[in-house]
Amino acid sequence: MSFLSATLSRVKPSPTVAVTTLANELKAKGRDVIGLGAGEPDFDTPAHIREAGKRAIDEGKTRYTAPDGIAELKEAICAKFKRDNGLDYSPEQVSVGTGGKQILYNALMATLNPGDEVIIPAPYWVSYPDMTLLAGGEPVFVEATLENAFKITPDQLEAAITDRTKWFIFNSPSNPTGAGYTRDELKGLTDVLKRHPHVWIMTDDMYEHLAYDGFEFCTPAQVEPALYDRTLTCNGVSKAYCMTGWRIGYAAGDAKLIAAMRKIQSQSTSNPCTISQWAALEALNGPHDFIAEHNAVFKRRRDLVVEAMNAIDGITCPTPDGAFYVYPSIAGLIGKTSAGGTTIDSDEAFATALLEEKGVAVVFGAAFGLSPCFRISYATSDDALKEACGRIRDFCNSLS
Ligand code: GLU
């Protein structure tokens, strides 16, 4: 429709949001659907954080704040970066937004000119390329293969950099694969970036605290201090603190970039929800012991799903280091036909038939830029996961 902007024709709706919405609609209609699409913890927001939100309401902390966050929260974010990552930031280097999504969007909108390139390892979280396109930039994909544990190599990064490269987006542990870069692996990438001073680094550290088997999280500005000035370190409270719906993300970096992001926010949404900001302050400053408890549960579920997937003929499922996703390959099933008559010629066909025939909602790999795979979010109950894995096994075994 010509009424809509030409820019919008370059992007598609978020597939993760679409799958989650579809699964919920089918459930509301009475269909027996197990949703493994949504990437959000099934745990409730911890009580002390909920109380902080309620207190904010009762104390009348319900008015506008500075467009990119209250001073108290910015202080808490600076303390978090120092405590967890050894990074020194001051409040004027910090931006708080409505979820990690708004932070990344603001940063891309604030910096991209037509034709600017953004290097994105694939598989990627679905919104990086489309946000890049919305901001007028060009996504440049670098394939992180299953054979290389879904990680890119320094040589691949080097080969992707051009004069037009503006950003390199780095996400570890990764959504959708759960793959995490060790310090040495990340150092290999930061050594390349050091040689290209025009390239800025945007990190998505949303899964920092969700790591298993002793995996040690690290972030680029920490591994290579020489990159500090051109790194935007992004994080948020959604995943570790089970606060997806509260919508609080944040970033720290160059003060001029942060000011530019503030300008966009002041002319669009203004401040993130005041109540959520006070709750996020409690999340960052309060006790963290529940995270280890949640991680023990996530690890158990990860192992359950990885074992179940690898037991299926035609599926290969690497064990992730973190996040709450697994990303099995269905290369061994391509070309088969489902009992319902669907030819499994792509991972999208696989996911569609799996939902229609067995009522299991997963996100197809093409949405993340690496096929033929699919993403399972295991942030749901053990019982639901066992039932879902059984249905996936039955579905795959019924393919002919
Ligand atoms: N990050 C989550 C996911 O990948 C939330 C949904 C979204 O905003 O994409 O499922």
Using the mean position of ligand 1's atoms as its centre, give its distance from the Cα of residue 264 in Å.
23
pLDDT digits (tens, 9 = 90+) for 120-151: 999 999 999 999 999 999 999 999 999 999 99
**3-class state of residue 280 by DSSP:** helix
Using the mean position of ligand 1's atoms as its centre, give its distance from the Cα of residue 16 in Å.
6
User: CA-CA distance, 284 to 292, in Å (whole number)?
Assistant: 15
CB 178 near ligand 1, within 6 Å:
no
| Contacts made by residues 300-305, CB under 8 angstroms, sequence distance 24+ | 300/382, 301/378, 301/379, 301/380, 301/382, 301/385, 302/178, 302/212, 302/326, 302/378, 304/378, 304/382, 304/385, 304/386, 304/389, 305/376, 305/378, 305/385, 305/389
Residue 38: what pLDDT? Answer: 84
| Atom from ligand 1 closest to the CA of residue 363 | 10
User: CA-CA distance, 169 to 160, in Å (whole number)?
Assistant: 12
User: CA-CA distance, 376 to 73, in Å (whole number)?
Assistant: 33
Q: What is the mean pLDDT of the chain?
A: 97
pTM listed for this prediction: 0.96
Please tell me the least confidently modeled range out of 10-24, 57-71, 132-146, 342-356. Answer: 10-24
pLDDT digits (tens, 9 = 90+) for 302-340: 999 999 999 999 999 999 999 999 999 999 999 999 999
| Atom from ligand 1 closest to the CA of residue 99 | 8
Determine the Cα angle at 283 with ends 273 and 216, to 5°. 125
CB 17 near ligand 1, within 6 Å:
yes
Mean of the pLDDT values across residues 265-271? 98
Residue whose CA is closest, atom 3 of ligand 1? 39
User: CA-CA distance, 369 to 84, in Å (whole number)?
Assistant: 31
CB 39 near ligand 1, within 6 Å:
yes
Mean of the pLDDT values across residues 272-290? 98
pLDDT at 353 over 80: yes
- Of 308, 328, 333, give the one whose Cα is nearest residue 385: 308
Percent with pLDDT over 90 in the chain: 96
Residue 44: what pLDDT? Answer: 98
Residue 1: what pLDDT? Answer: 57
| Atom from ligand 1 closest to the CA of residue 127 | 9
In the chain, the domains with their CATH numbers are: 6-44+290-397 (3.90.1150.10), 65-285 (3.40.640.10)
CB 175 near ligand 1, within 6 Å:
yes
Percent with pLDDT over 70 in the chain: 100
**292 Cβ contact partners less than 8 Å away, ≥ 6 residues apart:** none
- Torsion sign across C-alpha atoms 316, 127, 236, 382: negative
**3-class state of residue 58 by DSSP:** helix
Using the mean position of ligand 1's atoms as its centre, give its distance from the Cα of residue 195 in Å.
33
pLDDT digits (tens, 9 = 90+) for 375-390: 999 999 999 999 999 9
Please tell me the least confidently modeled range out of 29-43, 112-126, 222-236. Answer: 29-43
Using the mean position of ligand 1's atoms as its centre, give its distance from the Cα of residue 18 in Å.
10
pLDDT digits (tens, 9 = 90+) for 202-254: 999 999 999 999 999 999 999 999 999 999 999 999 999 999 999 999 999 99
pLDDT digits (tens, 9 = 90+) for 390-399: 999 999 999 9
CB 35 near ligand 1, within 6 Å:
no
pLDDT digits (tens, 9 = 90+) for 141-192: 999 999 999 999 999 999 999 999 999 999 999 999 999 999 999 999 999 9
Instruction: Give 2's pLDDT tier (boundaries 50, 70, 90).
Output: confident
Using the mean position of ligand 1's atoms as its centre, give its distance from the Cα of residue 385 in Å.
19
